[in-house]
Every structure is written in structure tokens, then in C-alpha cells.
Structure 1
Amino acid sequence: MEIKVISREMIKPSKPTSPENKIFNLCIFDILHHDTYSPVILFYPTFTNPNNSLKHSLSETLTIFNPLAGRRKDLVSVACNDEGALYYEATVNTTISDFLSPPKLESLNQLLPCKPCKILPPGELPSLPHLMVQVNTFECGGVAIGVFSLHTIMDANSSAVFLRTWSAICRDQRGDTVPPDFDSAFTLFPPVDFSRLRGGIVTSSTKGIEASCTIRRFVFNEEAMNNLRTLAKDEDDNNGASKKPTRYQVLSSFIAKHMILAYSTKGITSNLVLLLHIMDIRRRRGEPLTTNSMGNLVWPAIIPYEIEDTNNNNISINDFVKITRAKFESINKDFFLRIERDPDFLLSDECGGMLMEGMEKKKPISLMFSSGFNLGFNDLDFGWGKPLWVGFRGGTQETIPNRVIFIETSIGIEAWISMPEEFLAVLEKDEDFLTYASINPTVSC
């Protein structure tokens, strides 16, 4: 299979950015993030693009999302200078049906403008586009739209807001759009003295952290999810009523158990596991934040878990569920109000402890989970209907290992797991794991 780039151009905003909007200020959570590009790939069975509607609608969308057409000014701000977004067009010498039967994960990165999830050198940032798009046309007339956004500016929720706006403008339904809010994140959570920031394990030096990882896609159908939630429910201490965990709680707990067992099977043991969950601040903080508030409005909930014997197959899903639920309940509106009212909290020993400062010296097994639930990627309609499938990245690349992304699909919940190949090979042969999970099933076209 050959994917060939046939054109490359810079798409600029259809109107110049006004003088009062020339600077976009980053919030403290933006600054804490690694400088990487976050990918999403949308597959459609039919691609009709009269008069380059994708380009024209992107240009119009960039007037609304002007930081995406700008360039990094300094550590705490973006120059909205209308330099534009990089736009590629490519051809794929196969049909979309062949590509998705089953999805060719090893070829996904070729549908993207460059390598995903690599940590970018600081010196390159002032010259790099904040948005890159690659439109890949298959022999059958289908298309895969690969979108790269700079993580420093947008988290997954922000990317979804941008894509909803672009797709609505492309299908000429501007009334379906809601203006993005670029102000609230900075207003509520302005930068502090980052030289004294207690970032903990999340912002520790990345030297030596990156490893060669492979992506696997596992699908948990509705029956599997119902069985797992029943298996993991516990008794409420107060009234004895059965308490069923959420889909996220049970699935992250189940996968964490089997990732740990994969490590122990290969002889790598650690009695300390760090479960790192990326939590959306918007829903927990509430107004003035909304789903259209832009930026990296996420907080890392880090849960240490001591395991007595990593070779013991009785690692409890229920334990993971209980501690995850308790941790999530403690990170609420009051917690974020405390950060707003006392920015020095982020410099405190207490915050450093919450973020497991210094814990990397103990060489724990760190597992990172994030969710694409309710973001609407599967509903993005550019005028050709909803996507057949939504992909992220694939192949083998240098990246931070042990990352899991969840996304809803028509056939169940997909878990995209990034691990070193030798450990993923163990997971793929784990009979208990495969009782509930299907490995990279075919997408119906």
C-alpha cells in the first residue's frame, strides 16, 4: 500500500485577526503539558468536496479559532499572526474497505502530516504550525482526514469543539456552532512562577521516559461491558446497596490489572503502581467553564497502589475501582476553587505530594488513562454523513509508554493501548483479558 502526498499549502484565516485578539494567553495547565501534536483520523466512505469546500471552510473556521493559525510567541503566550494551518492532500492506492478490514494500525501514521506524540524540542516551537491536516483520498472515493493539533493549546475536548465547528461550516450549517471560549481558562488559572512549580511525576524530565511502543486496538462490546460492571460492583458501606462502577472506572481497572500482569510475566516487577487518570476540569469546576472552554483544562489524578505480589493473578479489579472512585470524588469543584483562590497552592508541598513528586526514583509501573467519551468524534459530519470509524495513531514510535485511550463506537468501547511490543504480546495471549476484549476487529463499511 502506498500513500502519496500530492500537494502541500498553508491555509490562512479568511479574515485577518483584529488587533485586540493578536495575543492568546496560555493558562497554567497549558504550560504544564508536553509540546506534542495530538492526532485524530476520521474515515468517510464517500468524499465529495465541491470547490474545495474543506479548504474554504477551514479558512473560515480559523478566523474563529485564530490561535490555531498563529505561532508560539513565548512560554506563556501565542501570537495570533494568521500564518495559517498546514494542509496536505494525499492519495491511497487501496480502497477504504480494504484498509479497515481490519484497520491497518501499522499504516495509520502515514495518514497524518508527521509523526504523532513526539515531544517537540523547545527551539522548534516558534516556527511550527499549531494545526496540520492531511486529506487522504482512497481509490474507491472514500477519505481519511488526519488532523494534528498542538497539545499545548488544545486538549481532546478543545479539538472536538474545533472539529464540530469546522464540520458545521463545511456542510453550510453555521447555526449549529457555538463560539469557543478562549478567555476563561487564563482568567481562572493564569500562569504562576513556573520555575517553582511542584509538577511532580507528570512534569518530570522526559529524558529516558520515551520508549519504542506499539499500538493495539481492543474493543469491548456491550455484553462484555455489562459483565465487567457486574463483576466489579461492590457493596455500599452505608446501606448495603449494590454499587455499580462507571464504564470508565471498571474498564480502566480491568485493563490496569492485565497490563501489570503482562509486566510481571516478563519478569519486570514493581510493588508500586501509579494509576494516572486525565480528568476534565470543565465538568467538575462548572460555570463559567463550559464544554466550549478552550485550552488544556485537565488535571492528572494520580493514585498510588501497592501490590503485595505482582506474580499473583488475584490482583483485584474491585480495589482499583474503589480507589479510583474515591480519588475522583475528592477532585471536585471545591478543589479547583482552591487553586483559583490560592495560585500558590500549585507551588506547595501538598500539591507536590498529590502529583507524586519524587516518586519516579522508586521506578513504579506508571499507567496513564484518558477518555474520549461524549466528545462526539463519531458524529462529525462534513456533509457526507457520520464517519465510518475514528482512529488515532498506530505503528511503532518513540513515545511515553503505558497509555490507554478510550473512545465510544457503534460496536462498543475501543481501548487504544500503547506499550512496548513484548508486553503487548503477553496481553494478546491473556485468556482472561480476551474473554472480554476483541483484538482490532474489522470496521463495517
Structure 2
Amino acid sequence: MFTQKIVFEPSKIAELRHKAASESVPVPTRVEAVMSLIWSYARKASRSNLVIPRQAVMSQAMDLRLRIPSNVLPQDAIGNLQIGFSLKKDAESEFEIPEIVAAFRKTKEGVNEMIKESVQSNITGQSLLSLMAETVSESPDIDRYIMSSWCRKPFYEVDFGSGSPVWVGFASHTNYDNMVGVVLIDSKEVDGVEAWISLPEEDMSLFVDDQELLAYAVLNPPVLT
């Protein structure tokens, strides 16, 4: 796996959100738009390198702290309190960004409603475990895209005594050749997004050279300017 950083400036995110809009989702969030774009072009690179295209599954992490009331989950609870949901695409399916955004939003709203209903019925743990089982039981013969957004997390406000960070980065490791990782982080510039993307080497070479993608993002710009 090779990891690269691409940066989306606020003006380009605005253009991308406009492109990603549809009748069902007239105002996509920046995370929905950016993740859908990345999935589309990462999948395009993968399909170009495969003799027989594989099914694609995107798994997106959701923060449970924002979705479970404090009387069920205390605000000071410790741990990685998240759950994932998945979007699937058949091997031969084309990827249109507005379509991905619409599916992304519909699935996310379905999970939100499931959590709300399970809290009211006092079966939150059972429902979350069932959803997790669905996510991890996929066939191994697929392209997995594991995505997470750390946007709106106050990393740049952290101060351990030497001042706030000049720049926040990301590092990861995976042992799975067909598991792609994507993490979004706020850039230092307000409303910009840095995307850290791990792809197989042959896919990455096509991904970072795709001019349609680079119309919206800058590849590995300097941290300090």
C-alpha cells in the first residue's frame, strides 16, 4: 500500500458540492462530496488495473457520541465509540458522484433512524452489534474502501504546553492488499480538507495522475508556505 495526501481548498470544495448535488440531496456536505469523489476515482483506478473487476464496498465510520443521548451514553465515556455502515457497488457498475452522495445520505439517515429507534426500545447494543456483523461479514473477494472523517475535530486547538499544532497529519498500516483506507482531516485553512489515501501501488499511480481528480485537489502540497 502507498499513502498520499491530497488537499481540497475551500473554493474547490464549493465547486465539488455543486457537482455532487442532486434532486434527492440538493446540498451535499463537504465530507459527502469529497468522499464520493475519492471513492469514484479510486474505484476507477482499480477497475483499470483488474482483468475481472471486483465488487466494491465503502465502509464509513460514524461517531456514536453525536447520536446517542447522554442518559444512555455519558459524555465522558472513554473509547472509540463509533459504528460503520456500508455502500455496495457491483463489479460492473459505473460510479456517478451525485448517485454516490445520494446513496451515502440515504444509508446514513437509515443508520441514524435505527439508532434512534433502538435507544427508545432500549436495545441499542443489540442493534449496533447486528449492524457491525453485517459490515464485517462481506466476502473477502471485494475491494474494501474504509473511510473516516475527522473533520470538525479540534486537533488544531490541542495545546500540551508548547502551543497549538502547525500541522496535523495521519499515519496508518494495513495488512490487507484489497483494503483501501481514506481519512479526511480539516486543513489549517478554514473549511479546507486534507485527504490521506492508501492505495495499492499500481492503483495509486493512476489515481494521482487523473486530471479530472486534480481539477479539484492538489497532490501533496507543502505543509508550510
Smaller-chain TM-score bracket: 0.7 to 0.9
| Shift in Å, 1:410 | 2.2
- Distance in 2 (alpha carbons) for counterparts of 1:308 and 1:388: 44
- Alignment of 1:360 with 2:139, yes or no, is yes
- Distance in 1 (alpha carbons) for counterparts of 2:53 and 2:148: 23
Tell me, what secondary structure is at the counterpart of 2:60?
Answer: strand
Q: In structure 2, which of residues 116, 119, 141 is the aligned counterpart of residue 337 of structure 1?
A: 119
Q: Is the 8 A contact 2:118 2:124 kept in 1?
A: no
Q: In structure 1, which of residues 410, 413, 432 is the aligned counterpart of residue 212 of structure 2?
A: 432
RCO higher in structure (CA 8 A, sep ≥6): 2
- Give the corresponding residue for 1:303: 87
Q: Is the 8 A contact 2:53 2:92 kept in 1?
A: no
Give the AA of the match of 2:89. Y
- Distance in 2 (alpha carbons) for counterparts of 1:388 and 1:323: 36
Specify whether residues 254 and 283 from structure 1 end up closer, same or farther in structure 2 by C-alpha distance, changes over 3 A only.
Answer: same
- Distance in 1 (alpha carbons) for counterparts of 2:124 and 2:194: 39
Q: Is the 8 A contact 1:218 1:414 kept in 2?
A: yes
Could you state the TM-score of these two structures normalised by the residue count of structure 2? 0.86
- Alignment of 1:256 with 2:39, yes or no, is yes
The C-alpha deviation readout for 1:151-201, integer Å capped at 9, x for no partner, is xxxxxxxxxxxxxxxxxxxxxxxxxxxxxxxxxxxxxxxxxxxxxxxxxxx
The C-alpha deviation readout for 1:45-90, integer Å capped at 9, x for no partner, is xxxxxxxxxxxxxxxxxxxxxxxxxxxxxxxxxxxxxxxxxxxxxx
Alignment of 1:337-416 (within 5 A): 337=119, 340-341=122-123, 343-345=125-127, 352=133, 354-355=134-135, 357=137, 359-361=138-140, 363-393=141-171, 398-400=174-176, 401-411=179-189, 412-416=192-196
- Distance in 2 (alpha carbons) for counterparts of 1:316 and 1:432: 13
- The answer for unaligned runs of 5 or more in structure 2 is none
Q: Is the 8 A contact 1:302 1:356 kept in 2?
A: no
Q: Is the 8 A contact 2:182 2:198 kept in 1?
A: yes
Give the AA of the match of 2:84. P
The C-alpha deviation readout for 1:342-393, integer Å capped at 9, x for no partner, is 7555676x874x4262x315x1211111011121111212333321101122
- Distance in 1 (alpha carbons) for counterparts of 2:60 and 2:206: 24
Higher Cα Rg, which structure: 1
The C-alpha deviation readout for 1:326-350, integer Å capped at 9, x for no partner, is 11101124255278527555676x8
Q: Is the 8 A contact 1:274 1:304 kept in 2?
A: yes
- Give the corresponding residue for 1:417: 197
Tell me, what secondary structure is at the counterpart of 2:67?
Answer: helix
Q: In structure 1, which of residues 326, 330, 346 is the aligned counterpart of residue 106 of structure 2?
A: 326
Give the AA of the match of 1:308. E
The C-alpha deviation readout for 1:116-142, integer Å capped at 9, x for no partner, is xxxxxxxxxxxxxxxxxxxxxxxxxxx
| Shift in Å, 1:304 | 1.6
- The answer for unaligned runs of 5 or more in structure 1 is 1-212, 237-241
Tell me, what secondary structure is at the counterpart of 1:370?
Answer: strand
Q: In structure 2, which of residues 21, 30, 50 is the aligned counterpart of residue 247 of structure 1?
A: 30
Q: Is the 8 A contact 2:36 2:97 kept in 1?
A: yes
Give the AA of the match of 2:213. F
- Distance in 1 (alpha carbons) for counterparts of 2:33 and 2:74: 27
- Distance in 2 (alpha carbons) for counterparts of 1:338 and 1:225: 37
Give the AA of the match of 1:429. D
Give the AA of the match of 1:406. L
What is the root-mean-square deviation in Å for CA atoms of aligned residues?
2.5
Q: Is the 8 A contact 2:118 2:127 kept in 1?
A: no
- Give the corresponding residue for 2:223: 443
| Shift in Å, 1:270 | 3.1
| Shift in Å, 1:423 | 1.0
Specify whether residues 336 and 299 from structure 1 end up closer, same or farther in structure 2 by C-alpha distance, changes over 3 A only.
Answer: farther
| Runs of 4+ with >4 A deviation | 342-348
Aligned residues: 218
